[in-house]
A and B are shown apart, each in its own frame.
Chain A
């Protein structure tokens, strides 16, 4: 009975989303405020219905209701409760429900936090989000219903969650990532609403800026969590594989990053309007494309578990409607956008244009590399794969150019900024970063690496430039607390994020160029050198977990002659599915991670063992965390909470000066 409530709530949400898509839009077009006013209550109702539906599915998992097919396929009596909760989004149907729930959540958030926005505008935004909801809920109800039941003969036990997903990483990675993916729908909805209304002035940029920034921050954290999960759980110590599904999240991230910067120009200067609209459309379309790639299984990837062509066709159709519809509207309306004002060849606008250009080219090249195998296959060119060498060859130089320019942007002034004095801090920055960068590989030891020298120089370049900017602002405002209370929160967010980019680049450069990595054969009593440590296997044992049996090796790590640490990597075999999983043992540190993982048994009590020292690997995720934090700090700015009255007064002033 209870699962039917969830199913009913899902159908209700579908009905509500149809109303949400139709009524406010109709109200807007016919100028009937009554219809417009339905938007907020409908958005709240949609969110509530989805929450009920989601809650019921989670209850099904917690209560072991194996009459629900989805639960039977993805859970097991022995599965611990916290993995039963995260198993809700462990496979196709449930992850779509999570997607829909988060869409509902964003709808509720827009309904509650849009007091500063005129009613007809928020009605249009919610209406567009309702249309997206219609598409996704129809997809769920017609092709991927999570509440399908196995009755009357419900199985006594479930098939178990894929062991790969029985990890804390699954608890946080998908919700974070989806918050970002789906959050981009808000930016998209704002763009569409302003296209529908034809009011394409700079105000929509201010409205949609905090939403875009927060979606971007979630996306950043979601991708970073995924990378971290891959590192310790499934990647044998790698942190990024240029897997199609990773790319599918990176492409919208790059576009969202461009969008954030372009929105700044649109908000502050009223420029780049049509370009910003296009980026907002592209960002969400690409996150839909990502969903399509993951869910349809057209690309060969670690994420392609089971796949179903019919679902792929549905999402592809939805994608065509969304992209086709939005671009048509764009083509009809964007030509009317006038771009008031000019900007000098050297100005903040031009640096941000440069930023946008590079980020877009990066996104396009990753997209081309990801889709190329599909394209070749479609024209009968056979099966090909595009590997990391391609992506590295394209992505790394572009990143270097982007980062070189990143130090200039924040120093430049709007309109015209060719006074060399402004850029004087960069002379110091350049000298220090090049000097330290060149010396660093020698300090670190090992063979001198030019790649490291260049990479570290770039990381320092952006980090120092950001630091000097902070110091300059503090001197200007006279004191740290005065600065941080008076300056725009967006600037603080920008500092954090830019500094984070430097931290991340440093981590990437060190890991990629100085990882010490050996696969060796070891038995009990054998010792191996690992960096400056000595690793000794002291024991092999069989351990019984809640739902698996593991071979566990005990390694003692010695530094010089003293015992530094004892670690116990495992090789697990899960009872229900018989799948084998590797649980690595990682000793994390500020300057390096020690990574030990068991490969396979080689007979005679010996195991293949992977030993790695990964210098500064945690800096990659620390950098991403700083970027995400920067995003969240930015949206605390007062000006996003302005009321309509002030907005109108300001618009009047802007109108008078234009």
Chain B
């Protein structure tokens, strides 16, 4: 092999093994850092792993939002109209958070309550997070919801 070919071979080998290692590391990092999504019904059935970071989506149930009078603590129910999950959160809620609105919360289950570290509501009020749509479809309540919506 002439030196030029040899160099090219080494570069290609380096590239392939570098990319291989990188993809492997990325896949490992992915498996460590993904957040699985659960519906309130799945949580009620105990399908969600405790103490692991997960996401739950549904509607904020009417009349369930309670605020602590002295701090920023707040609690509310997320529902797919079959089951409810009690969520506690401390901090500022997004602007579009309100009762009857679709929401996705991220956090951990702790002693039967869902302790949220993040509450996501979307920036467009006609927009429903896909996870929430999915949760409502699974509980068979999507049609009912859509009937009441603008679109």
Contact = CB atoms under 8 A, between A and B. Distances in A.
Interface of A: 162, 164, 234, 236, 300, 302, 304-306, 339, 342, 345, 353, 357, 361, 364-365, 368-369, 372-373, 376, 382-387, 389-390, 393-394, 519-521, 571, 577-582, 599-600, 602-604, 608, 610
A302 B123 contact: yes
Interface stretch (B19-27, B79-87, B107-115): B19-27
A369 B125 contact: no
A547 B20 CA distance: 55
Given A162-B123, A342-B3, A386 B30 contact: yes
Given A386-B34, A519-B92, 13 more contacts: A234-B123, A302-B122, A306-B127, A361-B19, A365-B26, A372-B30, A383-B131, A385-B37, A390-B32, A521-B72, A600-B93, A602-B72, A603-B67
Given A390-B29, A390-B30, A580-B96, A384 B36 contact: yes
Contacts of B123: 162, 164, 234, 302, 305
20 contacts: A164-B123, A300-B130, A302-B122, A302-B123, A305-B124, A306-B124, A306-B127, A345-B7, A361-B18, A368-B30, A383-B36, A383-B134, A386-B33, A390-B33, A393-B29, A393-B32, A521-B71, A599-B72, A602-B67, A603-B67
Contact of B91 (A390, A519, A571, A577): A519
Interface string B92-135: 11011100000000100000000000000011111101110010
Contact of B33 (A342, A389, A580, A608): A389
B88 to A, nearest CB: 15
A302 B120 CA distance: 10
A236 B36 contact: no
A345 B11 CA distance: 10
Contacts of B64: none
B45 interface: no
A382 B19 CA distance: 28
Nearest to A344: B7
A85 B22 CA distance: 45
A484 to B, nearest CB: 36
B95 A581 contact: yes
Contacts of B92: 236, 519, 599-600, 608, 610
A615 to B, nearest CB: 22
B8 to A, nearest CB: 8
A384 B32 CA distance: 12
A368 B26 CA distance: 8
A342 B7 CA distance: 9
B9 interface: no
A603 B26 contact: no
Contact of A384 (B18, B27, B34, B93): B34
Contact of B36 (A304, A382, A390, A579): A382
B30 A599 contact: no
A385 B55 CA distance: 8
A279 to B, nearest CB: 14
Given A305-B124, A306-B127, A372-B30, A361 B37 contact: no
Given A300-B130, A353-B11, A582 B95 contact: yes
B15 A357 contact: yes
Contact of B19 (A364, A521, A599, A608): A364
A579 B127 CA distance: 13
B120 to A, nearest CB: 9
Interface string B24-54: 0111011011111100000000000000000
Contacts of B130: 300, 383
B90 to A, nearest CB: 8
Main secondary structure of the interface of A (DSSP, over half): mixed
A521 B92 CA distance: 10
A365 B24 CA distance: 10
A306 B33 contact: no
Given A300-B130, A519-B72, A384 B35 contact: yes
Contacts of A604: 69
Contact of B127 (A305, A385, A519): A305
A578 B11 CA distance: 59
B36 A394 contact: no
Contacts of B134: 383
B4 A342 contact: yes
Contacts of B30: 368-369, 372, 386, 390
Nearest to A302: B123
Contacts of A306: 124, 126-127
A364 B22 contact: yes
Contacts of A300: 129-131
Given A234-B123, A357-B18, A610-B92, A394 B35 contact: no
B127 A304 contact: yes
Contacts of A304: 127
B35 A385 contact: yes
| Nearest 9 interchain pairs by C-beta | A599-B92, A383-B37, A390-B33, A580-B95, A384-B34, A361-B22, A365-B26, A389-B33, A305-B124
A578 B150 CA distance: 14
B125 A579 contact: yes
Contacts of B19: 361, 364
Contacts of A357: 15, 18
Contacts of B72: 519-521, 599, 602, 608
B127 to A, nearest CB: 6
Contacts of A376: 34
A350 B127 CA distance: 49
A169 B143 CA distance: 38
B76 to A, nearest CB: 13
B124 A384 contact: no
Interface string B59-85: 000000001011110000000000000
A602 B65 CA distance: 12
Contact of B125 (A302, A387, A571, A577): A577
A387 B35 contact: yes
Contacts of A389: 33
B22 to A, nearest CB: 5
A382 B37 contact: yes
Most interface-central of B29, B33, B69, B71 (chain A CB within 10 A): B33
Contacts of B55: 383, 385
A162 B26 CA distance: 37
A519 B8 CA distance: 57
Contacts of A387: 33, 35, 106
